[in-house]
Amino acid sequence: MASSDNQPQWHRFQILSLFGGGIRGILSAAILAAIEEDLGVKISDHFDLIAGTSTGGIIALGLGLGLTPKEIVDFYISEARSIFGDRFKLRSLKQYAASKFSAEPLAVALRKCFKEQRFGDSRKRLIIPSYNLGDDDVYVFRTAHHQRLARDYKVPAWKVALATSAAPTYFPATREVDSIRLIDGGIWANNPTMVAIIEAYGTLGVPLSSLRVLSLGTSEEICDRHRDLDVGGFWQWKTAAVDVVMRGQSLAATNHARFLIGKDNLLRINPPVPSGVLALTGLGVPPISLERPPTIVARKCRLSNRCFGAI
């Protein structure tokens, strides 16, 4: 990707932010596919920067490398069982002492999907969060959209996808990129909206007033926090802790973004679902039509006016 140092003054700069969420990324891809069908557009043509974490990072890479959202949906459907298979239902027990799944099926699926393409082959500006366990610090993959960004463009796309989606306790850390111990970017930026805004404003010099963001989640579970949590210890919080932390992190990122760019310049789509319907590694087809998610029908007009104007 060419350097953007000589970028003209931005009248409108559009960001697509894609959340993490495991196999639930199929819902995000399905929503994008429905937008393409409803509005007769190529989704990637309408965004200047795409940010994605974990499963959202896989989708972002796919869009940047020319896949359609429908092809990404097909990827999830065809590869889910090989990546998350648990034939004898013993992996949950294994997870107490080791990663629940092997990284090999995921790596094989990603290599098959992205082939020999490099991160720098993306047709769009991309920003993909990960986390460096060795340095105990955040790690961000960025396409070469500025002259000082020359580190990541040669990295094979499948290795970037593996690094952003190596969720602790589900997959082992990957050392495929310069032997660095990388894990899921959802540790710190499961909702990468603020990461993208900072990149646009701080690196590309886009005024905050020019930014427009479509923030797309992987569903939001409706749940009632049990009163035992009020005074609970490790046992009471063992399942709720991660969910509460991730939800709080995501809401904070969205609220900060709305404060910076204006609430009318950020559209957040994160369909609510009943508790337990869409598991992080569930293999069943979501009980929502992948052909036409109902969220799209209600928000189509707002979406077309707010996010698909002239860039």
Q: Any idea which residues carry the catalytic annotation?
A: 54, 184
Give the list of residues 6+ apart from residue 83 with CB closer than 8 angstroms, or none.
Answer: 101, 105, 106, 109
Residue partners of 180: CB distance under 8 A and separation at least 6: 132, 134, 139
- CA dist 189 and 23 (Å) reads 18
Q: CA 280, CA 24: separation in Å to the nearest integer?
A: 6
Contact 164, 57 (CB under 8 A): yes
Measure the CA–CA gap between 239 and 237, rounded to whole angstroms. Answer: 6
Say how many Å lie between the first and final Cα of the chain, rounded: 19
CA-based nearest residue to 27, from 62, 57, 93, 72: 72
Are 128 and 51 within 8 A, CB to CB? Answer: yes
* Degrees, nearest 5: CA angle 153-158-161: 90
Distance CA 292, CA 61 (A): 23
- Spell out the residues 6+ positions from residue 49 whose beta carbon is closer than 8 angstroms to its own: 13, 14, 15, 16, 124, 125, 126, 127, 145, 196, 199, 200, 204
Residue 7 DSSP one-character state: P
